Amino acid sequence: MEDRTIVNKTKLKQLLGEVPLAPEIYWRLRQKANPPGKGFNLGRIEKWLPELRQQAQEQLGCADRQIASRRIVIFPMLRYWIEHAALLGLALAGLGHQVSLAYLPYAKWRRPLNRFDLRRMNAYASNILEQARPLIQPISLLDIRRSAVNCARQNLPPSLLQAIAEVSLRDTQYTLQVEYAMEDLSGDHLEQADEHEHAEATHHHLSPTDRLYQLRQGRNTYAAAAFITWYQSLPVSQRPEILLTPNGSILEMGAVYQAARHLGLPVVTYEFGEQRGRIWLAHNDEVMLQNTDDLWHAFKDIPLTEQQWEQIRSLYASRQNASLWENFSRLWQGQPSQGGEQVRQTLGLDARPLVLLAANVIGDSLTLGRQVFSQTMTEWLERTAQYFTQREDIQLVIRIHPGERYTKGPSVAQVVQNALPSIPANIHLVKALDPVNTYDLVEIADLGLVYTTTVGMEMAMSGVPTIVAGQTHYRDKGFTLDPNTWDEYHQLLGEQLTRLARGADSHSQDAGRLPRQQVERAWQYAYRFFFDYPSPFPWHLLRWWTELESWPIRRVLSAEGLEAYGETFRYLAGEPRTWSN
């Protein structure tokens, strides 16, 4: 009886979802303007909006800004990004820019929604964001005429459809923390999924992975088509000059990023890391790729000052000792350093040369789409582990990322155990929860192997030659070994292991360590990455409502605030970023 009631309720919602104004009237009469369900409470921005709008309006009248006004559209989805985008949009409007907020009011990215619930959330979000007028023009992409969006979907070019398919694959990989390739998913029936057709997203004959991919493909395609439809409906003189969107690599933000690139619309992507008071930015690029080429080109030949050396040494020491440092909010280790010799005893390591493989979390956003010569990080792990079964003269320690303790996907331990049903004595697994500090392993390592983890850079800082298998930000910066094919990888690995064997025979502790020039180069790059790459910004995504107490819009847009943050706001408004000393 209970199952039948649920089925009838679902069918009723599907029916009412197509009735004009039915969900909106239900929300206003029955829910009294409260959030229409869990996971989509915009209460924080609702509380702040009147005051924020007033402060931005006051600052708009300042005549000494000398900032060229631009037409900017910000695209967020999900509760927290929508709230933060409203705050960011008001600050940009207070600087004199014309700001639109195009959004999709989704509470979840991995579950389908019937149109009844979706329209209730849309009415709720619209009711709140209307309070940002006239400084911000809110536009829900759900309000774009469906027939026009469907027409646009039918005419999306193959190149854009392919880009959206890649975004949808990353969504699936990231959500399930797996590394499926496109060919592992079901075929043509996944290409035409419609996010609003609930039944299409729940075919029982599809696997959970296929269903999730179908859902993501449908939503992403809808987002891209709706954005293009809205953009092209505007007179040319009113079209935005820049798109500002979080991340740009995953979910609807990734799809709209790709749509903007197709339209030739310049894009700024942004994201937040572990540093308070800092933001990552990228122009016409996906910010999570962390492209530091221009930064390094500008700074690679500029020596660090004594103060800068002190900063990076202090930060590195905190990472080693599992302690917080200044504005960093993340502990990189769960175990304080106990020294290299202690970890040798703990793991039962002997005097043979030691290779440290530091793994990423499978399905992490910093590994997906970063392949250079392997299809996935998993393939690289499997083939590398198998390679060392033939090298009993070498010890391989596979350090599983401590972050695995917070994830639910497959472990690197499972990957290794599947590749090696019987793990030989020269291969050691250090699991996420094992009381071992990674930096103690770095201290005794003779060679490093990494995919994209920052540990690879830090091994080079410690003088350990390191082979990088994935496309990470510090690759090709002059202090790592960077193969481009499997043949190059195996050749480099063979050469390094031969060097280690010779060094062991000569009993030289310094045999094969990186030259001092390369070590210093690694330290220089680390400083630039941690301290110059992120830009100053007053409101972190995860705590903006508390930071508003000390940095309200009024203060941020004052002479004092613009001295601290004005350059970042210019970059957010599309001004090209230039690196200088």
Could you report the per-residue pLDDT of 215-255, keeping only the tens digit for each? 999 999 999 999 999 999 999 999 999 999 999 999 999 99
**CA neighbours within 13 Å on the CB side: how many for 322?**
13
* Percent of the chain predicted with pLDDT > 90: 64
Burial of 157 (0-12, 13-18, 19+ CB in 10 A): exposed
Amino acid 326: pLDDT: 43
Amino acid 337: pLDDT: 67
Amino acid 181: pLDDT: 64
Distance between CA atoms of 469 and 485, rounded to whole angstroms? 9
462 pLDDT above the threshold of 60: yes
Cβ–Cβ under 8 Å, residues 438 and 358: yes
Amino acid 42: pLDDT: 93
211 pLDDT above the threshold of 80: yes
Distance between CA atoms of 469 and 377, rounded to whole angstroms? 8
Amino acid 553: pLDDT: 96
202 pLDDT above the threshold of 60: no
Question: Which of the two residues, 409 and 336, has the higher pLDDT score?
Answer: 409
Amino acid 539: pLDDT: 97
Amino acid 29: pLDDT: 64
187 pLDDT above the threshold of 70: no
293 pLDDT above the threshold of 70: yes
321 pLDDT above the threshold of 90: no
427 pLDDT above the threshold of 90: yes
Distance between CA atoms of 13 and 475, rounded to whole angstroms? 52
507 pLDDT above the threshold of 60: no
Question: Which of the two residues, 224 and 581, has the higher pLDDT score?
Answer: 224
69 pLDDT above the threshold of 80: yes
pLDDT in tens, 111-142: 888 887 888 889 899 999 999 999 999 999 99
Distance between CA atoms of 315 and 319, rounded to whole angstroms? 6
Q: What is the CA radius of gyration of the chain?
A: 26
Average pLDDT, the chain: 86
Cβ–Cβ under 8 Å, residues 572 and 268: yes
pLDDT category at 13 given cuts 50, 70, 90 is low
* Percent of the chain predicted with pLDDT > 70: 83
Q: Specify the length of the chain in residues.
A: 581
38 pLDDT above the threshold of 80: no
383 pLDDT above the threshold of 70: yes
Question: Which of the two residues, 205 and 223, has the higher pLDDT score?
Answer: 223
pLDDT category at 505 given cuts 50, 70, 90 is low
What average pLDDT does this structure show over 280-305? 95
Q: How many CB atoms sit inside 10 A of residue 11's CB?
A: 11
Cβ–Cβ under 8 Å, residues 134 and 219: no
- Distance set, CA 376 to CA 133, 143, 186, 360, 555 (Å): 46, 39, 19, 12, 47
324 pLDDT above the threshold of 90: no
pLDDT category at 164 given cuts 50, 70, 90 is very high
pLDDT in tens, 562-579: 999 999 999 999 998 888
pLDDT category at 323 given cuts 50, 70, 90 is very low
Provide the edge-to-edge strand list for the sheet that holds 535-536.
136-140, 98-103, 71-74, 242-246, 267-271, 278-283, 535-536
